[in-house]
Amino acid sequence: MPVFNQSRSRVIQFIFAGVFIAITGQLINLQLFSSKYKLAADNNAFYRKVIYPDRGIVFDRKKRGILENTISYDLVVIPSEARGTDTATLCRLLNIDTAVYKKRMRDLIFKNTSVKPSVFEALLTPEMFAKLNENMYRFPGFSLNERSVRTYPYNVGAAILGYMAEVDTGFLRRHRDDGYEMGDYFGSTGLESTYEKVLMGQRGIKRFIRDNKGRLQGSWENGAYDTAAVAGNNLYSSIDVELQQLGEKLMENKVGSIVAIDPKTGGILCMVSAPTYNPNYLTGNQRKKHLVEMLYFDPRLPLLNRTLGTFYSPGSTFKTMVGIIGMNEGVIDDQFTVSCGGAYYGCGRPMGCHAKGTFTLKPAISKSCNSYFAATYRRILENPKYPNRDSALNSFNQYAYSFGLGRRLGVDLPSEKMGNIPTPKYYHGIFGKNWQSCNIISNSIGQGEIATSLTQLANVMAIIANKGWYYTPHLIDSIEGGDQFGLLDKFRVKHKTKEIPEYIWEEVHEGMQGTMEFGTGFYAKVPGINVCGKTGTVENAYRGEKLKDHAFFGAFAPRENPRIAIAVMCENAGYGATSAAPIASLLIEKYLKDSVSGNDRKAKIEQLANMNLIPPQMKRQMVKRDSLRQAQQLAAAKKAARDTSGVEEAPEETDTDSSVTPNKPQPAKKGTKKDTANKVALLPEEQRKNNTKRKTAA
Amino acid sequence: MNRRNHQIATQGVDYLVIWLYAILVTIGILCIFMVEYRPGTDWFTSFLNGKTNYSKQLIFAGVCAIAATFILLTDSKLFTAFANLFYLAGILLMLATFVIGKNINGSKSWIPLAGGFNLQPAELCKIFAALALAKFLSRQEVDFSKIRSQLIAGAITLSPAVLSILQHELGLALVYTSFLIAMYREGLPAQILIIGSSFGVLVIATLILEPNILAIILTAIAAFVIFLLRKQIKKKKKLLTIIITIWLICVGVQRFVVPYIFNNVLECYQSTRIYSMVGKEYNCAENRKAQDKTNTNKPVRKPDDYNVRQSKIAIGSGGFFGRGFLKGTQTRGKYVPEQHTDFIFTSLGEAFGFVGCFIFLLIYLLLLYRIVRIAERQRSTFSRVYAYSVVSILFFHIAVNVSMTIGLFPIVGIPLPLISYGGSSLLTFTALIFILLRLDADRQMVLR
């Protein structure tokens, strides 16, 4: 019997071979042709941890750090290990109650599982850290993780240094190849934003192996494939932090701005936008609250950089340019005189004037005579050299452009505004083809359609100081380790105005020096220094309501060898000589002499700092906001007592109008007010509820 | 053969099989080591302290070495003489589990022994069933071409299988079907195997295809066959009835039998596993047993194919050369469940890649072919049937275990021979192989 079944041995062997081949085939399929398994395995097992390098430090011109890093601590918890925690003590230290603790814990477990570490409380204050650190043994499962945050040691320069923000989807889409991830922070405004590439450094990546529950098992291949984090490069700025401090102090309780430039290099010495805020407000764990507060609830718009994010009519400071252009075009000379009897009548409607008398250019600048420059401007426009007014105005505009007006200067800060130099085409739209020089005569004294940012104005002062050239104003002089991205190249290019002979500049300098000695800037004299300056007073209105004039002052010093060119502007401060000019004079003295000397000068600082020049319309809005908020806080407090879980997101705070535009500050909406009113009206009822609740709880 | 040294135990022993056996056991211990290893531990001491699984497996291997020596030292007549007695004892042990059994991983098939070790009689019963089958088929009066003998042989092999199913050990029960290969070699009609495999194809087709489409396909095949055989059908009307009967049975199977089996015979998780094999989801609400359970016990767990997915990921991530010894990320992260027992192949696949797997499978194939050769050189029917039983059991374990880890077969809990962690399993395969070697060494003797 066995013999005749022997062939079946072969069949069995074939079956073995067949199954073996089938298995091999599937192995080839899995191991050689399916990359997805390898990918899935890596997704399973690797935990990619991004190591954030320290961001670069920003130094001022004397190598003092004005934007540095410091260590802050996060309270981190692994919920599954936090069972034996002394919850009551922890809540007491964190100033939260148990319900909040439980809610947060629930949220963390939901978001990040209970075996992985999650941040329970981010960016602890130093006191909180100290208190927690002593008691950590009571909180198993909790730990304190350090992380690097930005700090501003001098508490100044918020508008120029900028702050960091968490990336959003829009940012990620725009910077797809730059390696940002959800949860990262990036420089959102100011220098932080402009020099993001330099400051951020190079992030390192560590690869860890993790197990099936997401717990880390140690590094992959002992870190052979890890990349080290490279710290960001430091920036050396031209800012003088003491000057900046003084500037911010002087601008307290005012709305306006200061820009001071070193005319030789174009380096910005100080740049103040008032009202400002302590930049450290936007670093800690209260960041969001402060940001919302300033962004939506402060009618003074502290986040707006008024040095280049807004533009104004430059006022009389513009007259210097009109004079220079007039001289250079040959329509006036140093002998040209205009008599002013209190107003300019050349265009029918009289244009008021501060000074009476007969003027040549120099005293006209010193005394800021409107009639003189109106006459000059008309002569420029009706210059027989040009076939018509259009081309004359074009020629005038070419001068203006070469002075850096009507164009973005290219300052190394984001959101710079262009200002406005009106073109003939623009006037065609308003007055028709045959517009007259009288139509636009306001431009001659820096009113009308001409608009410049304060940085542009300061740059004009630098050009006059340099007698015809400038470097683009900038904050950063050099980058540690070299300028790899070519960010500073444009600041090394010397820009020249149209060819203007030396004697014209001398004439204007003379006039501007006169301003300080016997003219409109007399109160701003700096003892022992020849300052050349020009005041400006700009009429303005808000929603048809005539407001106090904006005060302007532009200057440079010393005349012989200019080291600082400065422009100061105070919104609605009235006559330029009482606020803007003395501020500029103090800053010039501070910069050139390294300190302000003399008791009366020092007293002047305090006097100016205490001078409250907040425009009345803003004051009204602030009062309105404050009373609204009081009502809200009352309502929120009542609500909090009722529902502890909603403390942070009290809805009254967040559902206000978010479309507040910078130009038309608007406080909270009417709807909000109504809402609050309802809450207040409900109060007795709430209280009763609370009482009953408490009773049941007891 | 050297007749002078006939009485020496090692005489005539097939050393190749012993070498392959030793290699495989070593690979097994190393694989378990890979699974359990944690960086930073002193592996040498933990190998000796008996607390880790690889250390325990090392002890098992030592015990097995002693057992193997004993087996080689016994007289081969012992196995023929006591075959039926062993079988009876094995069945009794299995019955005993229902009384004194210990519940491990949901199956009450273990008998607790001293020292924290447990014995699974169903494992040992493989040896006894193989011996009993060999004993039965080698009897002079048995004519295996007769239906009656075939039924008796079937009963011998299926009794332990039925007991295993009662113990909820489907995997072990399935192993007993591998005796079909041995029986096939001894003259079981090929039709049975063909019908059986056709049934398998039909079941898979039922799972994959829509019932109506499959019915149409079956009808089309029947019509095509009738068309091809129209001349023969004209001669023999009986052929037509046969074809139509087969067609009716097929349609009946796919329409009623298969759904019945899945919904009423199999457990919910078993149906789910089989469905997930072909990439479909099984609705447990249709399962009668699951319905019964939901009324009494906790709700049915959401079905998922986590095991297979992780197992395929681990093997697939190995690539051509693998990640290297102890460098498998999936192994270290414990992503594959039961990796030291049923899914031990994944650690090998991840660490050594396609090359490693291929060589490993070649070692197995070599062992199988070697045993087939040994079987064919036996003079006694007893030894040959036993050898074929051994190779069938080994083959079935290897094929099913490896196929299930790479997603070719639904998950059934059967170990990879000589590799998977487990004392009972290792001891069983050791005994199976060394009894064979003992019998082979004595192949010159005529055994009953």
Q: Which parts of B333-445 fold into alpha helices (H)?
A: 344-376, 381-405, 423-441
A201 sits in the region (left: phi over 0; alpha: psi -120 to 50; else beta) called left
Query: Residue B30 falls within a domain, yes or no?
Result: yes
What are residue A81's phi and psi, to 5 degrees? -100, 5
Say yes or no to pLDDT of B27 above 90. yes
pLDDT of residue B221: 87
Residue A611 clears pLDDT 60, i.e. is over it? yes
β-bridge mates for residue A546, sequence order: A541
* A649 vs A668: CA distance, rounded Å: 17
Percent of chain A's residues with pLDDT above 70: 90
The answer on pLDDT for A676 being more than 50 is no
**A564-570 and B107-112: which strand pairing?**
unpaired
Q: Which residues of B, range 29-88, sit inside 8 Å of A by Cβ?
A: 39
Q: What is the mean pLDDT of chain A?
A: 82
Q: Which residues of B touch A13 (CB under 8 A)?
A: 369, 372
Q: Does B314 touch chain A (CB under 8 A)?
A: yes
Closest-approach residue (CA) in chain A for B306: A212
Collapse the DSSP code of B253 into the 3-class scheme (helix H, G, I; strand E, B; otherwise coil) and give the result.
Answer: helix
- Residue type, position B360, single letter: F
Say which of B314, B365, B384 has its CB closest to residue A16.
B365
pLDDT at residue B291 in the model: 63
Asked if residue B108 belongs to a domain, the reply is yes
Q: How many CA atoms lie within 13 A of B94 on its CB side?
A: 25
CA distances (Å), origin A286, targets A281, A290, A649, B120: 7, 6, 13, 65
CA-to-CA separations, A200 to A230, A261, B316, in angstroms, rounded? 9, 27, 39
Contact A277, A301 (CB under 8 A): no
Q: How far, in Å, CA of A389 to CA of A103, rounded?
A: 73
- Cβ–Cβ under 8 Å, residues B332 and A45: yes
- Kindly state the DSSP code that residue A57 receives in the 8-state scheme: P
| B407: contact with A, CB 8 A cutoff | yes
Predicted confidence (pLDDT) at residue A653 exceeds the cutoff of 60? no
- The partner residue sitting opposite A30, judged by closest CB among B381, B384, B406, is B406
- Dump pLDDT digits (tens) for A501-534: 999 999 999 999 988 888 878 877 888 889 999 8
CA separation for the pair A436, A382 (Å, rounded): 9
- CB-closest option in A15, A26, A209 to B329: A209
Q: Which of B320, B330, B402 sits opposite A44 (nearest CB)?
A: B330
What angle separates helix B381-405 from helix B344-376, to the nearest 10 degrees? 160
Backbone angles phi, psi at B238, to 5 degrees: -60, -35
Residues 355-384 of B with CB under 8 A from A: 357-358, 361, 365, 368-369, 372, 375-376, 381, 384
Q: Is the pLDDT of residue A698 over 50?
A: no
- Residue (of A263, A248, A241) closest to A60 by Cα position: A241
Parallel/antiparallel/unpaired status of strands A351-352 and A357-359 = unpaired
Per the domain annotation, does B231 fall within a domain?
Answer: no
B306 touches chain A (CB under 8 A): no
What is the spatial distance between Cα B286 and Cα B191, in angstroms, rounded to a whole number? 34
Contact by Cβ (8 Å): B368, B391: yes
Cβ–Cβ contact B312 with A under 8 A: yes
Please state, as a whole number, how many other Cβ atoms lie within 10 Å of the Cβ of residue B398.
Answer: 25
Question: Looking at residue A474, what is its pLDDT?
Answer: 94
Check B332 against A6: CB less than 8 A apart: no
Q: How many CB pairs under 8 A join A and B?
A: 125
Q: Which two tokens stand for residue A405?
A: 């007006």
Residues in chain B: 448
Q: How far is A634 from chain B (nearest CA, A)?
A: 50
In this structure, are residues A294 and A178 in contact, taking their beta carbons and an 8 Å threshold?
no
Q: Is B361 close to A20, i.e. CB distance below 8 A?
A: yes
Shortest alpha-carbon distance between residue B392 and chain A (Å): 9
In order, the DSSP letters of A228-262 are: --BPPPPEEE---HHHHHHHHHHTTT--EEEEEE-
> What does the alpha-carbon distance between residue A254 and residue A257 come to, in Å, rounded to a whole number?
9
**Residue range B112-123: average pLDDT?**
78
Q: Enumerate the residues of chain B whose CB falls inside 8 A of the CB of residue A218.
A: 39
Identify the pLDDT of residue B279.
Answer: 64
Closest C-alpha among B26, B1, B27 to residue B13: B1
Structure tokens at B408: 């070719």
Res. B188: pLDDT tops 80: yes
Residues of B in contact with A27 (CB under 8 A): 315, 349, 354, 357-358, 406
DSSP A559: S
For A534-682, where are the alpha helices, taking DSSP H only?
580-593, 599-610, 616-642, 651-654, 670-681
- B406 touches A at CB < 8 Å: yes
Q: pTM of the entire structure?
A: 0.64
Of A22, A210, A32, which is closest to residue B316 (Cα–Cα)?
A32
At residue A663, the pLDDT reads 44
* C-alpha distance from residue A173 to each of A170, A194, A203, A243 (Å): 5, 18, 19, 40
How far the first Cα of chain A sits from its last, in Å, is 93
pLDDT number for residue B298: 43
For residues A379 and A331, the answer to whether their CB atoms sit within 8 Å is yes
* 3-class state of residue A509 by DSSP: helix
Give the nearest partner residue to A37 out of B317, B320, B333, using CB atoms.
B317
3-state secondary structure of B315: helix
C-alpha dihedral, B50 to B54 to B57 to B62, nearest 10°: -70
**For residues B252-266, average pLDDT:** 80
Inform me whether the pLDDT recorded for A553 exceeds 70. yes
Q: What local confidence, expressed as pLDDT, does residue B357 receive?
A: 95
In a domain, B393, yes or no: yes
Say how far apart CA B97 and CA B92 lie, in whole Å.
Answer: 9
Contacts of B313 in chain A (CB under 8 A): 37, 40-41, 44
Tokens of B274: 């089989």
Q: Which residues contact B391 (CB under 8 A, 6 or more apart)?
A: A12, B181, B182, B368, B371, B372, B375
Give the pLDDT confidence score for residue B386 in this predicted structure.
94
Residue at B167 is within a domain: yes
Range of the domain at B67: 3-188+305-441
Q: What is the DSSP string of B216-252?
A: HHHHHHHHHHHHHTHHHHHH-HHHHHHHHHHHHHHHH
Let me know if residue B194 belongs to a domain.
Answer: no
Cα(A443)–Cα(A430) distance, rounded to whole angstroms?
15
Interchain pair B314, A15: CB under 8 A: no
What is the distance between the alpha carbons of residues A657 and B314, in angstroms, rounded to a whole number? Answer: 54
Q: What is the pLDDT at residue B8? A: 54
CA distance A162 to A210: 38
Asked if the C-beta of B15 comes within 8 angstroms of chain A's C-beta atoms, the answer is no
Considering A99-103, A646-650, B16-20, the range whose residues carry the highest mean pLDDT is B16-20
The number of folded domains in chain B is 1
Task: Please name the residues in contact with A604: beta carbons below 8 A apart, sequence gap of 6 or more.
Answer: A582, A586
Q: What pLDDT does A643 receive?
A: 59
Question: In this predicted model, what pLDDT tens digit does every residue of B380-435 receive, in sequence order?
Answer: 889 999 999 999 999 999 999 999 899 888 888 889 999 999 888 999 999 999 99
Structure token pair of residue B214: 């499959």
Over residues A482-494, the mean pLDDT reads: 89
The residue whose two tokens read 């022994």 is B113
Q: List CB contacts (< 8 A) between B315 and chain A.
A: 27, 30-31, 37
Give residue ranges of A with CB < 8 Å to any B CB.
1-2, 5-6, 8-9, 11-13, 15-17, 19-20, 22-24, 26-28, 30-32, 34, 36-38, 40-42, 44-46, 209-212, 217-218, 220-221
Residue B238 falls within a domain, yes or no? no
**Position with higher pLDDT, B86 vs A447:** B86
Q: Is residue B236 assigned to a domain?
A: no
CA distance A626 to chain B (A): 57
Query: Residue A2 is nearest to which of B181, B384, B399, comparing CB atoms?
Result: B384
Distance from CA of B135 to the nearest CA of A (A): 15
Q: Is the ipTM of this complex over 0.95?
A: no
When pLDDT is averaged across residues B303-323 and rounded to a whole number, the result is 83
> Which position has the token pair 């997805």?
A36
In A326-424, at which residue ranges do the beta strands (DSSP E only) sit? 338-340, 343-344, 351-352, 357-359
Q: Do A31 and B315 touch (CB under 8 A)?
A: yes
